[in-house]
A and B are shown apart, each in its own frame.
Chain A
Amino acid sequence: MSLIHIENLNKHFKILNRHPGLGGAIRDLFSNDFRFVKAVDGISFDIAPGEIVGYIGPNGAGKSTTIKMMTGILKPTSGVIQVNGQSPYDNRVRQAQIMGVVFGQRTQLWWDLPVIESFKILKEIYRVDQKTFDEHMALFDELVDLGKLYGQQVRTLSLGQRMLCDITASFLHNPQIVFLDEPTIGLDVSIKAKIRTVIKELNQARKTTIILTTHDLGDVEALCQRIIIIDKGKILYDGGIKKVNALFGAYRTLKLQIDGFDESTLRALEEKLGAHFGPENGVSLSEVEDHWTDITIDQARTPLADVLSFVMGNFPVSDVRIVEISMEKVVRKVYDGALG
């Protein structure tokens, strides 16, 4: 029995085409020049209780729109959406009781009040009894040291602390599903790791279904057994993490700054790399911007360390950076049939 059932779901927005300049703005007042944007375009999937599902895609892919439909904020243009057997839109208030939601860019905490007050307000809104409340607060205290923050005004919290409070708060009423919309946005590495641990532990302790949208592939790798990749409103991939993990886990981009860089350096680099590692090596020179040379490496075929030591040995390298493959590149690779 699936907890969330979505079938051929669509959401179209009607958007006025705006014209530039003052004249354009005045013209727009009377304009009927609309275009339709298919934010969500015929998606279907089912989510079982207890799963952690990563819902990923580039900006504007339709992630948040889907979340807003699942939480009953937006009404679908057409299609079926059922959460726990009910339409979230028609039964908003009742359905809200079984859901927890965190929007990474907003907060459900009361900005001006000490942290504990927000938890008390949520306790009353969700009608959580005192015993459950005490149990949960003890659990949160154990997980994130929440007790220390009780007396602090929310506005004085760091972004990371606030996010930890927001996430734990969304579990307070023991919901069946928690939606986390970009929970790690704008956070540093150590707090990201902390947040991932907390999400994982809460999922295991409460058997809560979690739907996570993110831009950070690290979140997905750390948390999800299943991922759904969406782009331009359509689902590109829905399945186990392993296949995808092999894809983006293996790729790294080596960024190099080479002294006295010019056109000839680039050509020399390309030739030497080709000669040393052979043609089918998974090493490619991708793009060059601001004196940085990017080398994308498929580690399944050639270890990054080999490439790095070879380049360092043959070129006057002044600076090096290693970056993980971006969401956009993953999506492009999926388009190109990387997942078969």
Chain B
Amino acid sequence: MRGYLALLRGAFMIGLIYRFGFLFIIIGNVIYMGVAYYLWHSIYDKTETINGLTFNETFIYVTLGSTVFILLKTYADWIISHEIEDGSIAVYLTKPIDYQFYALSISLGSMLTNAVAISVPTVLLLVFVFKVTFVFGPGLLIFPISILLAFLISYCFDYFTGLIMFYTESIWGVSVTKEIMITVFSGALIPLQFFPEAVQRVLLLLPFQAIYHTPLMLITRPNQDWGTLLSMVGVQAFWVVVMFVATRLFYNQAIKVLRVAGG
């Protein structure tokens, strides 16, 4: 455990070293918020609610969605595929650590730098510049847990994608496909309520929605009874367990390619 914390700390420090990177992410995010504001403003011009969401709710959903999107980018697929490609994975295979948790520690460490440097300015901008009003409720309390669970699910998707590198020796196409699927199916691009009823029903059964839809609903609609809130987080926890076990089994298969065929 101490070892993984040290890895996490290391990754966190790397984020701090490249502090100028933040500046551009923040600037980019501000531009995106401005565009989203005027776009959704004109859509809501003639009506109070669309699909049951008010402008305030949709705007928070979309802008926080982009922040959460940055937070939940684990980059594990790129980290792993890069290590497989240049063979540096061998270095970690000679260390007394588990590869899945090694990659997770690295991803989590860089996510924490983003959490500090990006979400704080975004929330401040939302409150003081765009003057949105947050609704307070119990949903906000479990939001941090939900975001962590969402991160773990997102990590599993990326870890899985990275491991495909063992078979394909190239990850570009696979990673782009994964990215598009997650962006659309998870409700990161547009709220799931905007999809047709039937599609929504299918999407809610898949793990994608547990990444963005769940934490974002908690923050836009925090005033729900504890039963509903806990079942939302429960579904996330369920997917974390399923996907952790699944990717672990996949790793045990994938690593054989390296161990048998050489790297």
Partner-B contacts on A (CB < 8 A): 13-14, 39, 65, 68, 71-75, 89, 92-94, 96-97, 99, 101, 103, 106-108, 110, 112-113, 117-118, 120-121, 123-127, 153
Contacts and interface: CB of A to CB of B under 8 A. Distances in A.
Contacts of A118: 10
A16 to B, nearest CB: 11
A106 B82 CA distance: 13
Interface stretch (B154-162, B174-182, B193-201, B255-263): B255-263
B129 interface: no
| Interface residues of B, dominant DSSP | helix
Interface in B65-100: 86-88, 90-91, 93-98
Contact of A121 (B7, B88, B90): B7
Given A99-B94, A121-B7, A124-B3, 4 more contacts: A71-B94, A72-B94, A73-B258, A124-B2
Interface residues of B, number: 29
A168 to B, nearest CB: 16
Contacts of A13: 261-262
B5 interface: yes
Contacts of B17: 112-113, 153
| Interface residues of A, dominant DSSP | mixed
B88 A89 contact: no
A75 B259 contact: yes
B260 A103 contact: no
B91 A103 contact: yes
Nearest to B259: A75
Contacts of B87: 106
Contacts of B91: 101, 103, 106-108
A39 B3 contact: no
A113 B97 contact: no
Residue in A65, A68, A72, A126 whose Cβ sees the most chain B Cβ within 10 Å: A68
Interface string B233-263: 0000000000000000000000010111111
A74 B96 contact: no
- Top 10 A-B pairs, shortest CB-CB distance: A124-B6, A125-B3, A96-B96, A101-B94, A75-B259, A121-B6, A112-B14, A124-B2, A124-B3, A97-B96
B96 A126 contact: yes
Interface string B1-43: 0110111011001100110000000000000000000000000
A121 B10 contact: yes
A94 B96 contact: yes
Residue in A72, A73, A153 whose Cβ sees the most chain B Cβ within 10 Å: A73
7 contacts: A73-B94, A75-B256, A75-B259, A92-B93, A93-B98, A123-B6, A125-B3
A74 B7 contact: no
Contacts of A153: 17
A155 B260 CA distance: 33
Contact of B93 (A73, A113, A123): A73
Given A13-B262, A75-B260, A113-B17, A93 B7 contact: no
Contacts of A97: 96
A268 B159 CA distance: 69
A113 B13 contact: yes
